[in-house]
Amino acid sequence: MKWKLIIFSCFLALIFAAGCSSMAEKHKSKEVSAAKPATENSTLKKPEPQPSTPEKPQKLTLEKVKEISKKGDNISSHDFESFEGVETGSGLYIMRYTIDDNYYILVGGSPKMKPVYVKLIYHKDKNNLTENRKMIDIRHDDVDKFIKDNE
């Protein structure tokens, strides 16, 4: 019978402790509000509404590719975030950015690290993307020359 009384006493002590801590928090919040009295000129600012829809991604162009390529080894996955892209990898994180009927870019690697590659790919046949294609890594190769050679 004694152990039931001890368990019941512990239970009551826990309830009492929980009640005291919540009362202490209420008391603290009243002290904070009392320390900063409201004035006639004080107003509460409402949070500004956030846009409900994200900005529409841009279409990547050869001009943008030329601009990004100037960064060389400092190119990151973030340089392509604002462009329309499709995740195509399995294992490695690969994003494909279509430029036009003949060009696209593949960015491969981890979004948190520098890309393993940033390939500008030219293909003659838009129905067959794997054959008859040429590619360069825009971090190291001449983008203008590559485009001119494929005109």
Residue 42 lies in a domain: no
Residue 25 lies in a domain: yes
Residue 53 lies in a domain: no
Domain count, the chain: 2
Distance CA 108, CA 117 (A): 5
**60's tokens:** 């990547």
Q: Is the domain of 80 the same as that of 16?
A: no
The pLDDT tens digits of the residues spanning 35-45 come to 445 455 545 55
Distance CA 134, CA 150 (A): 9
Q: Is the domain of 68 the same as that of 32?
A: no
* pTM score, whole prediction: 0.58
The pLDDT tens digits of the residues spanning 82-137 come to 999 998 877 788 999 999 989 999 999 988 889 999 999 998 876 666 677 899 99
Residue 88 lies in a domain: yes
User: 84, 57 in Cβ contact below 8 A?
Assistant: yes
Distances (CA, A) of 36 to 18, 43, 64: 28, 13, 53
Q: Is the domain of 76 the same as that of 143?
A: yes
User: 146, 135 in Cβ contact below 8 A?
Assistant: no
Full residue range of the structural domain in which residue 92 is found: 62-149
Residue 57 lies in a domain: no
